[in-house]
Amino acid sequence: MPKLKVLLVCDILIRDYDGCNRTLFHILDRYDKDKIKISIISGKIEGLDQPTQVLKLPNLTLPFNQDYSIAVPYFVTNEIHQFIDEVNPDIVHITSPSLLGSHIQCIAQKRRIPVSSIYHTDFIGYISYYVSQYNPLKELIKHYFSSVARKFYNGCDVVFAPTAASKDYLIDMGIDESRISIWQRGIDPAIFRQNEAHKSTMLQAYNIQKPIVFFASRLVWEKNLETLIAVYKLSVNQGNKYQFVVGGDGLAFDELKEQMPEAIFLGNLTQDELSKWYNNADVFIFPSITETFGNVIIEAMSCGLPVVAANGGGSVSLINHLENGVLVTHDDATSYFHYIEKVLNDAAFRSRLVENGLIFSSKLSWPVLVDSFFESITRIAKFDHFKKVAS
């Protein structure tokens, strides 16, 4: 039986870099190599273990965010065409409507190759964190990026949205509903689970003797770090009863460390290290409203860690307020602190959140989700082949 040939197109492919990359590596680590062949076009590539056909492109660091870069396809167009000729993909999967993504989409459309994408990132929401609200060009910039995203996603045969809320967001943006399919993110239950063996080891290493308020994410301002700082300062002013611990790295690392001098900053963490901290922490706080899903929320739940998160973005589709977690207004530091206190001092409330969080997160397993992803794109590729023959 011939293999399904998939061309993966992404600007960055770095293991554990961010939520988008973790999703890609979950797919790359689990696909059936006897049935599927994956080739890759990307800018930066790190941590790719398996032998794969790769075309690495020049990349450009974004001037407003040194943590991110984009691949530049325009000076290597011949190489791209030659690579696609060699790979001869049945379907092209593009991660974002970037310069590279839009460029490859145009090539695929001209060659009548079906295109799929996953809605990973709320680029429009990110703009608010990098363009001053007083900048007269802000709305023009948002309109431009909205137009680019709308054109790109409407040019895909299928767009996988991680939640019903993100599907609604795409529809409101002007994306054809018939192109959108919900495909949730998952967790690796072998890593993210309640594990008593993890208890106390981290606490001894850092000499922590207070309840731990844990936050983990890329440390970039679009994660609503201003609210994290405000909650920390409120906690300090109310007696400094809790130890704030921050996992992750990014553009805002130094300033965040300066604003939260008594917090512990861990830097980048592997998934195993994350799991240990989830098991040692007492409450997980997540104020971001720019997530399309929010993997860290279900990771925390699966380790039995109660979650207090912003009422916005992907969190809304993961948390049933006061049942398997808590949702609060994204910039209301007082509400975050109130529910942190309640989680730590109300045993029955905490127990309900933990139990329901474990039940919810147990339904999201990466092996099952990866299989369903390839089943979906296989149907699209075969359907398109049929159309080519029929025409």
Strands 54-56 and 91-94: unpaired
CB 285 within 8 A of CB 213: yes
| Residue 378, in any domain of the structure | yes
Strands 326-328 and 307-310: parallel
Structure tokens at 61: 């660091």
- Please tell me whether residues 269 and 225 are part of one structural domain: yes
Three-state secondary-structure class, residue 170: helix
Mean pLDDT for the chain overall: 90
- pLDDT (0 to 100) of residue 389: 37
- Please tell me whether residues 181 and 267 are part of one structural domain: no
- Please tell me whether residues 122 and 248 are part of one structural domain: no
d(CA 21, CA 10): 9
- pLDDT (0 to 100) of residue 347: 98
| Residue 325, in any domain of the structure | yes
How many structural domains are present in the chain? 2
- pLDDT (0 to 100) of residue 133: 55
For the chain, helix, strand, coil in percent to 5 are: 45, 20, 35
Q: Which residues contact 254 (CB under 8 A, 6 or more apart)?
A: none
Q: How confident is the model at residue 17 (pLDDT cuts 50, 70, 90)?
A: confident
- Please tell me whether residues 280 and 356 are part of one structural domain: yes
Query: E strands within the chain?
Result: 4-14, 36-46, 54-56, 59-62, 65-71, 91-94, 115-118, 158-161, 180-182, 212-216, 243-247, 264-265, 283-286, 307-310, 326-328
| Residue 243, in any domain of the structure | yes
| Residue 204, in any domain of the structure | yes
* pLDDT > 70: percent of the chain: 91
Q: Is it the case that residue 384 has pLDDT exceeding 70?
A: no
Mean pLDDT value of segment 28-48: 94
- Please tell me whether residues 26 and 165 are part of one structural domain: yes
Q: Which residues contact 299 (CB under 8 A, 6 or more apart)?
A: 187, 192, 274, 275, 278, 361
Structure tokens at 268: 């980048």
Q: How confident is the model at residue 200 (pLDDT cuts 50, 70, 90)?
A: low
Q: Which residues contact 382 (CB under 8 A, 6 or more apart)?
A: none
pLDDT tens string 280-312: 999 999 999 988 788 899 999 999 999 999 999
Q: Is it the case that residue 386 has pLDDT exceeding 60?
A: no
Q: Distances from the Cα of 34 to the Cαs of 47, 61, 366, 374, in angstroms?
A: 22, 37, 19, 13
Q: Is it the case that residue 132 has pLDDT exceeding 90?
A: no
d(CA 380, CA 25): 22
- Please tell me whether residues 40 and 86 are part of one structural domain: yes
Q: Which contacts qualify for 195-199: CB closer than 8 Å, 24 or more apart?
A: 195/275, 195/276, 195/279, 195/303, 196/279, 198/275, 198/276, 198/279, 198/280, 199/279, 199/280
Which CATH number belongs to the domain containing residue 229 in this structure? 3.40.50.2000
pLDDT tens string 238-264: 999 999 999 999 999 999 999 999 999
- pLDDT (0 to 100) of residue 390: 35
Q: Is it the case that residue 206 has pLDDT exceeding 90?
A: no
Mean pLDDT value of segment 6-33: 92
d(CA 161, CA 156): 13
- pLDDT (0 to 100) of residue 196: 80
- Please tell me whether residues 114 and 220 are part of one structural domain: no
> Can you list the alpha helix ranges (DSSP code H) found in 201-270?
201-206, 225-237, 253-259
- pLDDT (0 to 100) of residue 385: 46
Structure tokens at 260: 């939260």
Mean pLDDT value of segment 141-146: 77
* pLDDT > 90: percent of the chain: 71
- Please tell me whether residues 352 and 385 are part of one structural domain: no
| Residue 191, in any domain of the structure | no
Q: Is it the case that residue 330 has pLDDT exceeding 90?
A: yes
| Residue 121, in any domain of the structure | yes
- Please tell me whether residues 290 and 377 are part of one structural domain: no
User: How much is the pTM?
Assistant: 0.75
Mean pLDDT value of segment 51-80: 85
Three-state secondary-structure class, residue 27: helix
d(CA 151, CA 350): 45
Angle of the 333-345 helix axis to the 347-361 helix axis, nearest 10: 100
| Residue 205, in any domain of the structure | yes
Q: Is it the case that residue 183 has pLDDT exceeding 60?
A: yes
Sheet holding 36-46, edge to edge: 54-56, 36-46, 4-14, 91-94, 115-118, 158-161, 180-182
Residue with the two structure tokens 């145009």:
106
- Please tell me whether residues 303 and 179 are part of one structural domain: no
Q: How confident is the model at residue 124 (pLDDT cuts 50, 70, 90)?
A: low
Q: How confident is the model at residue 122 (pLDDT cuts 50, 70, 90)?
A: low
- Please tell me whether residues 228 and 293 are part of one structural domain: yes
- pLDDT (0 to 100) of residue 297: 96
Q: Give the CA radius of gyration of the chain.
A: 22
pLDDT tens string 82-103: 999 999 999 999 999 999 999 9
pLDDT tens string 213-229: 999 999 999 899 999 99
Domain membership of residue 272 as a residue range: 196-361
| Residue 226, in any domain of the structure | yes
Q: How confident is the model at residue 388 (pLDDT cuts 50, 70, 90)?
A: very low
The number of beta carbons lying within 10 Å of the beta carbon of residue 137 is 10
- Please tell me whether residues 175 and 30 are part of one structural domain: yes
β partners of residue 89: none
Q: Distances from the Cα of 16 to the Cαs of 55, 58, 62, 269, in angstroms?
A: 21, 21, 20, 8
Which range is least confidently modeled, 4-13, 164-173, 324-333? 164-173
